[in-house]
A and B are shown apart, each in its own frame.
Chain A
Amino acid sequence: MYVAVKGGERAIDNAHRLLASDRRGDTDIPEISTNQIAGQLKLAVARVMAEGSLYDPEVAALAIKQARGDLIEAIFLARAYRTTLPRFGYSRPIETSEMAVERRISATYKDLPGGQILGPTFDYTHRLIDFGLAGDAVPEPPAENAAGLEPAPHVTRLLNDEGLIEQNATRSDAPPRDLTREPLAFPAGRDLRLQNLARGDEGFLLGLAYSTQRGFGGSHPFVGEIRIGEVEVEFFAEELGFAVTLGRVQLTECEMVNQFKGSASEPPQFTRGYGLVFGQSERKAMSMALVDRALRAEEFGQDVTAPAQDQEFVLSHSDNVQATGFVEHLKLPHYVDFQAELGLVRRMRALHAAARADEPDEAPPEEADEPVEDREAAE
């Protein structure tokens, strides 16, 4: 007798066993350590920390190992871990102007206070596969600057002195909104939008940012400044009555300077787009800044015409953990809904055939086997 095959607990257990052994791969080759991942795949770790919203290189490295290098899966693991952690409160706003700069460049000024500091970047490399890396090549030690670095004020502050750029909103003491603690509602304020973008998928934001450069909601951007480095994170402890330092995090910050014509009441000024992400990720920080500016269209009286300017479109679809879950859920069984559709299509085909049989003299109708419309994906 035929037994309907429906998953089965043993099959699932065996699939998980196979997954574990596949992850490990050939046991004659040494297992990769999380130290190696955290130390040598830093940018992957940075991405998992940024989109996982959890600054913990060890957890991120472990997640990458467990996910077999699938970064969205690793981000998912980090998020699911993060959500279980107790929350003590919010840190004090970090001061990126006091960042211990590892890299800092401006595209708007040739030289500026604090200098142009190139830092560890792929930017000026030739993208030639380095076959030497396949072996155990030991790189030259980096050059040191004995003099140390001078303070590097933000470029936008320099513009601010002349009134050429819009003022940042003054700091408010209101607690920040947090989309991990309350559902997102529209229209969303800039704080929530920036949080959403900071957690958003790098590829999605990159595509949106690119679209603004190709005419879908352009904003004529200049990279005022990109800086990468560590900043201190402080927490105000009520019991103590003062702020204590929790540690340091590496950040990438991007300030875009965008054109703006001004209005009857305001003189012409540049406007801002802002990006801030954990770790070293200029692509993400720049994309975030471009999309942030695009999402401010309404604020500047611009028509919302392009996808990147549409907050419901951008904010609802930026999260890759949500997106991958829902896209991939189509793999789950949908037998019963499909059965309902099968029944309907068969009935409609029977009616169609009957109708044709009733009118034998008509010219052969065009093939009318079109699928039923409005079939939203069976969820």
Chain B
Amino acid sequence: MSTTATATTPYNYAYLDEQTKRMIRRAILKAIAIPGYQVPFASREMPMPYGWGTGGVQVTASIIGPTDTLKVIDQGSDDTTNAVSIRKFFQKTAAVAVTTSTSAATIIQTRHRIPETPLTAGQVLVFQVPTPEPLRFLEPRETETRKMHALAEYGLMHVKLYEDIAKHGRIAKTYDYPTMVAGRYLMAPSPTPKFDNPKMHRSPALQLFGAGREKRIYAVPPHTDVVSLDFDDYPFEVNKFDRPCALCGAENVYLDEVILDDRGGRMFVCSDTDHCETRRAEGHRGEILGQEETRA
């Protein structure tokens, strides 16, 4: 067993010991072999709290190597506190190159978003998952939900979506929107807005999902069907914004609402900061910047 401690830390490469990594890699392989199936794994205590990305961090730690380039985002941004903390963790323990560029990264660990720039073959997207069980809020018992998955008995979820329509006139699920993977397993996409669900469908990238506290890993292999649940008369729709990004002018991207003052002033900007910066570097100007600078 290798115990190569890096110069700056007394811990093994990428924090986890090699035996643990092997155990997690086995779980990942099984997850890839059964798309959408939640594989139990012996999740370890990590030096960050449960609920703050321990599952994603363990998956990343098990697949990362010195030649990788890592990007970490939270809410679409590289600069949110937790993304900074996790990126630093791997810089320290795995001596790995980091980037904010989606296309330059080999591994992207994310919480709550999928980058706007389409992913390519060879990239791995690692999701941090709080509640891997899509049926959890309908059935609290693990013994029951595992049985429901085994029997592909997903009527409960369809009833929930139907009840939404009856009550609210629409499916009132805006994020963590349930999907069917490869026509077999119901899967929680993690609390990404449903805006991002279509990006998972037949993505050329490998998508891995790690839930540390709940001790589950699941996967969507490249080019796998990921279909959001809906009804013929109520087809799945993504969240829409009625304006472009105020900074880069991008349309059809996910926007964050930023409150500007206490008089109701607000603007909408790209949630994906890398996408926004890249577009601005290319000369795109949104409403706010357009007033200040002339278009390059």
Contact = CB atoms under 8 A, between A and B. Distances in A.
Interface stretch (B62-70, B79-87, B227-235): B79-87
B102 interface: no
Contacts of B111: 332
Given A329-B49, A379-B131, A7 B215 contact: no
Majority SS of interface residues in chain B?
loop
Interface in A55-85: 76, 79-80, 82-84
B213 A339 contact: no
A337 B174 contact: yes
A328 B17 CA distance: 28
Interface stretch (B29-37, B117-125, B178-186, B265-273): B265-273
Interface residues of B, number: 72
A335 B255 CA distance: 10
A312 B143 contact: yes
A187 B142 CA distance: 10
A333 B49 contact: no
Interface string A300-338: 000000000000100010000110111111001111110
B41 A336 contact: no
Nearest to A338: B257
Contacts of A298: none
Interface in A147-188: 180-187
B174 A341 contact: yes
Given A2-B258, A183-B41, A12 B84 contact: yes
A340 B239 contact: yes
A324 B51 CA distance: 9
A326 B130 contact: yes
In the A-B complex, list the 8 residue pairs whose CB atoms are closest, starting with the nearest: A325-B50, A329-B51, A325-B49, A379-B130, A340-B174, A326-B51, A183-B215, A7-B81
Interface of A: 1-2, 4, 6-9, 11-12, 76, 79-80, 82-84, 86, 180-187, 312, 316, 321-322, 324-329, 332-337, 339-344, 348, 351, 372-374, 376, 378-379
Interface of B: 11-12, 15, 17, 40-47, 49-52, 54, 74-77, 79-85, 111-113, 130-131, 137, 140-143, 160, 164, 167-170, 172, 174-176, 190-195, 213, 215-216, 239, 241, 254-258, 260, 267, 269, 271, 273, 288-289, 292
18 contacts: A2-B258, A6-B77, A8-B84, A11-B81, A12-B85, A183-B216, A185-B40, A326-B130, A329-B50, A332-B52, A332-B81, A332-B82, A337-B174, A339-B256, A348-B169, A374-B160, A379-B190, A379-B191
